[in-house]
């Protein structure tokens, strides 16, 4: 049987689907419960992926980011944070740069 390939990326978020808002409780559920399950699933099928984290999440849950690295996954930056007032899709470029320089 031939190998099959796919490109997978994961945006690790704290956005609640139900409330369409950023919530730490959602992030905790995703990162503490969901991420180990996803990493186990990827390991079972020998899948490597890229995980995009915001700096906010990486600072709150560095052990989760470390586990993804230890499992052989790539880590990408997803900006500093996702907030309604700092939406990079609508923020002018110069403000994006200032926001990231903190």
Percent of the chain exceeding pLDDT 70 equals 70
Residue 46 in tokens: 């020998």
Count how many domains the chain has.
1
pTM above 0.85, yes or no: no
Q: In b/e form, how buried is each residue of 57-78, taking b as 16+ CB within 10 angstroms?
A: bbebbeebbeebeebebeeeeb
Strand 74-77 relative to strand 9-11, pairing: unpaired
Residue 3 lies in a domain: no
Q: What is the pLDDT of residue 33?
A: 86
Compute the distance between CA of residue 29 and CA of residue 50 in angstroms, rounded to an integer. Answer: 20
Residue 72 lies in a domain: yes
Question: Domain range holding 67?
Answer: 9-101
Residue 2 lies in a domain: no
Residue 4 lies in a domain: no
For residue 40, give the CATH number of its domain: 3.20.20.370
Residue 46 lies in a domain: yes
Task: Please identify which residue in the block is written with the tokens 């200032």.
Answer: 98
């Amino acid at each position: 049987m031939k190998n099959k390939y796919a490109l997978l990326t994961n945006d690790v978020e704290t956005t609640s689907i139900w409330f369409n808002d950023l919530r730490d409780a959602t992030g905790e559920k995703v990162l503490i419960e969901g991420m180990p399950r996803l990493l186990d699933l990827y390991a079972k099928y020998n899948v490597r992926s890229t995980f995009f984290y915001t700096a906010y999440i990486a600072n709150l849950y560095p052990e989760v980011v470390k586990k993804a690295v230890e499992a052989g996954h790539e880590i990408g930056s997803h900006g500093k944070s996702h907030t309604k007032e700092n939406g990079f899709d609508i923020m002018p470029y110069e403000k994006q740069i200032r926001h990231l320089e903190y």
